[in-house]
Amino acid sequence: MKPGDRAMVVVSRPYNGADPGLNLGIPQKMRHLGVFPIPMDFLDLDQHMGHPELAEMYWRYGQKILASALQVRQDPRLHAVYITNFGCGPDSFIGHFFRRIMEGKPFLEIEIDEHSADVGAITRLEAFLDSLGNVTTAAPQAKPSRRRDIKPGKRTIYIPPMTDHSVAVAAAFVACGGHAEVLPESDQRTLELGRRYTSGKECYPCALTAGDLLKLLMDRGVPPREVAFFMPGGTGPCRFGQYHRYHRLILDELGYEEARIYSPDQSEVFYKELGMVGGSDFTRLAWQGLVAVDLLKKAMHETRPYEAHPGDSDELYGHFLQKVAATMGRKGDLKPVMAEARAEFEALVRSGENHRPLVGVVGEIYTRANRFANEDIVRTIEELGGEAWTPTIGEWVLYTNHTSALRAKKLKRRQALISTLLENYFQHKDERTLAQPWAGALKTLHEPEVKQVLRMAHPYLEPSFEGEAILSLGKSRDMLNRGACGVVNVIPFTCMPGTIVNALMKRFREDHGNLPFLPMAMDGQEQSGSRIRLEAFMHQVRQFQQAREN
């Protein structure tokens, strides 16, 4: 480069930056406009790999993209063109962090899909280059990256209303001397705030949890210095592990710097970081609460479709949910509560109907569990003549144990491995103890071991492909083997693991007698079309049930 030359760094993944068909020939167009294009891989990115901005970015190319932003931001000769694609999951979060690093220095982002035309790209590129002549780039500010908090301090821990299991988690915090509160159920106000402060490209649950948090701060006026929002981190590949970081960005930009996000990492250090709050008592008590709520949900889902008096099951479920929380608050034994709950559910008056088709509901854990996010799909299935079966929340905890143990073993972290295996042992023991009172009462009582679920998914996904995709496939097969006549995959719009499941389900269905399957992508745009699709699906489910019985 000669002094005074303008250079544009092409920030992209290799398939975008190197393929002139995918990138609409943007590098060539730059040369025609007198601008020198530089692929980001030509920069010395290794020098930035230890930077705090990259510390919690677990995608390798995400690290490179943010490293390129750091390089461009500090070099006055460089500007950036960020080429991305419509529906790119990682970029829906990476783009926000890229913008944060580039604050004060303009860059051009071009999103390409199969409908994009190079004319529009040329126009935007020309306009951007013209604008650079009138822009004064601010000097880089020494603004340290906010790291995740693993100690909530003396604050109230506010838990997202993902599902009723949040009540058990809050009760465990309180029982161990903390202050905790479950946020009110998500609603249209949640969605309004979430959409206002997100781009719409992120996961739907990210927008909902952001909206619930902002509703707390804006509508209820809770002082930020008293808030610790519970939002665990992760190590990928799912985008969930970036939620807490993006929430932190939103809070800082809105002036809520004092609010904390309590974010223990769902990895081999998960139980250690949780233990910083209430010691080992908290992790075991919270687990027992999760199992108890899982069992109550099973009872409700198996009873409600057959109740003689609508509302009886919901009322009984709500009563025992509060009883579980109260018992946890005094660190009492939950087994007698389970025995009492069984007796009460069995005593409910039935309608006489007893042969509805069983429908499995799998998918992304937040969306499938949150009534607002999934448009109350379980109740809709029941209204259309089915009986719904959802995976337990405990399944994800046990799967996290499995992956954490593998990770600790690989990294030779002996103490973390032993800790995880011990937690896993006692969690299985507690699960069996609390399930005993329900023996013979619930047809969906027993859950397969994590390794069994992975084996059932193995024909379609290799176990090293971690995350909810392999769990959804394995659980679908388990449900089919135990009587399910159809499966619904409930996911957020553009969910990466969910999209993979939808693709692999074609072969899965072919292998299992064309099992009825319905993909449901949720984005908050409630439409009558969802119910119409479910009605058609339930017709297929009934036909599958009849064919199986004949």
- Residue 299 scores a pLDDT above 80: yes
Establish whether domains 7-132 and 156-270 are of one fold.
Answer: yes
The architecture in CATH of the region 156-270 reads: 3-Layer(aba) Sandwich (3.40)
Can you tell me the distance from the alpha carbon of 282 to that of 176, in angstroms, rounded to the nearest whole number?
6
Per-residue pLDDT of 9-28, as tens digits, reads: 999 998 888 888 888 888 88
Q: What region does 24 belong to: left with phi over 0, alpha with psi -120 to 50, or beta?
A: left
The 10s digit of each residue's pLDDT in 451-476 is 999 999 999 999 888 889 999 999 99
* Radius of gyration of the chain, Cα coordinates, nearest whole angstrom: 25
Q: Would you give the end-to-end CA distance of the chain in angstroms?
A: 77
Grouping H, G, I as helix, E, B as strand and the rest as coil, residue 307 is strand
Are 313 and 284 in contact by the 8 Å Cβ rule? The answer is: no
> What is the side-by-side order of every strand in the sheet holding 78-85?
36-39, 7-11, 78-85, 108-112
Mean pLDDT of the chain: 90
- 517-522 vs 156-159, strand pairing mode: unpaired
Indicate the Cα dihedral angle 41, 43, 49, 54, nearest 10°: -70
Q: Where are the domains of the chain?
A: 7-132, 156-270, 352-549
Of the candidate CATH numbers 3.40.50.11900, 3.20.20.80, 3.40.50.1000, 3.30.465.10, the domain formed by 7-132 belongs to: 3.40.50.11900
HSE, CB side, 13 Å, CA atoms: give it for residue 182. 17
**118 φ, ψ (degrees, to nearest 5):** -70, -20
Give residue-wise pLDDT tens across range 26-48: 888 888 888 889 999 999 999 99
**Strand 7-11 versus strand 78-85 pairing type:** parallel
Provide mean pLDDT across the span 512-531.
88
Q: CA of 172: how far to CAs of 149, 179, 399, 430, 535, in Å? A: 19, 10, 21, 15, 40
In angstroms, the CA 261 to CA 231 distance is: 6
Identify the H or E element spanning 228.
Answer: strand 227-230
Residue 518 has pLDDT above 90, yes or no: yes
Would you give the distance in Å from CA 319 to the centre of its chain?
29
Look-up of token digits 């949900």: 297
User: Can you tell me whether residue 156 is helix, strand or coil?
Assistant: strand
Residues 6+ apart with CB under 8 A from 92: 199, 201, 202, 203, 239, 494
What's the whole-number mean pLDDT along residues 139-163? 77
Outline where 365-467 has alpha helix (H).
Answer: 365-369, 377-383, 393-410, 414-435, 450-457
Q: Is the dihedral of CA 70, 74, 77, 79 positive or negative?
A: positive
Average pLDDT over residues 357-382: 96
The strand pair at 484-492 and 156-159 is best described as unpaired
Residue 142 has pLDDT above 80, yes or no: no
DSSP string, 157-204: EEE--SSTHHHHHHHHHHHTT-EEEEPPPP-HHHHHHHHHTS-S-S-H
User: Is the full-model pTM beyond 0.85?
Assistant: yes
Q: How far apart are CA 175 and CA 4, in angstroms?
A: 66
For residue range 190-232, list pLDDT tens digits in order. 999 999 999 989 999 999 999 999 999 999 999 999 999 999 8
Reported as a pLDDT band with limits 50, 70 and 90, residue 7 is confident
- What is the distance between the alpha carbons of residues 231 and 273, in angstroms, rounded to a whole number? 13
Is there a contact between 460 and 452 (Cβ–Cβ < 8 Å)? Answer: no
Nearest one of 103, 43, 111, 45 to 77, comparing CA atoms: 43
Assess whether pLDDT exceeds 60 at residue 3.
no
DSSP-assigned letters across all residues of 138-152? PPPP--PPPPPBS--
Residue found by looking up tokens 């069996």 in the block: 432
How many whole angstroms separate alpha carbon 381 and alpha carbon 539? 11
